Amino acid sequence: MDKIRMINIKESILSDNRDLADQIRAQLLSSGVFMLNLMASPGAGKTSLIVETLRRLKNDYNITVIEGDIESRVDSEKVAAEGVTAVQIRTGGACHLDAPMARAALDVVDLEKTDAVFIENIGNLVCPAEFDMGENRKVMILSVPEGDDKILKYPLMFSVCHVLVVNKLDYLESSDFDMEALEERVRRLNPAIKIFRTSCKTGEGLDDWCNWLKGELQNTVKK
């Protein structure tokens, strides 16, 4: 008789998280609210992309930003400076956001007066890829200074995302970043992914990104 009983904690955690994420997704659908989960490494430009996006969309849509951070509220202050409501999640050490955290944040949001929720996840290319939060779209940012080989090191993140934003194009000429090699690798792994090339410094590509986002919003938001 086997005296060892195995409990797979990770499998249980992910299963419970998926169940809650599905509940959140159903609630947002019934409320006509679009939710975006934005993931990237530290310094890739998550906050900068959010701020530039808010400047282009906030007059047409009521947007709330959920900011995930281990300790600080620096990014929430940048969002608030744009006149947009920010909900700060301070994880106290956790390396990702999950559905229970999203649930806690959404509980303080008036969904009847909200068109879209943007989540800025913790800067990390590993754990955030595994945790569904009930979002409509997963978006990952890869900055040019990080290199074109990140897909070889973090394939799960590239495979689960609906959109890849290649940011900081203003660094392209001074680097050996191979855009064609990156896109070939990405599409081999995730053929349906959409790719945008942007620079929050010069504004390049931001209109294309925002036009795509408007299309997603129009398909979800109740007017």
- Lowest pLDDT segment from 73-77, 156-160, 200-204: 73-77
Q: What is the mean pLDDT of the chain?
A: 92
Cα-Cα-Cα-Cα dihedral sign, residues 77, 132, 140, 33: negative
pLDDT band at 95 (very low <50, low <70, confident <90, very high): confident
Residue 126 is given by DSSP the state S
Contact 198, 169 (CB under 8 A): yes
Contact 46, 123 (CB under 8 A): yes
Enter the pTM of the model: 0.90
Looking at residue 96, what is its pLDDT? Answer: 86
pLDDT of 164-196, one tens digit each?
A: 999 999 999 999 999 999 999 999 999 999 999
pLDDT of 189-200, one tens digit each?
A: 999 999 999 999
CATH class of 10-220: alpha beta
Residue labelled with tokens 């390049």:
204
Percent of the chain with pLDDT over 90: 82
User: What are the structure tokens assigned to 155, written together?
Assistant: 């394939």
pLDDT of 126-158, one tens digit each?
A: 989 999 999 999 999 999 999 999 999 999 999
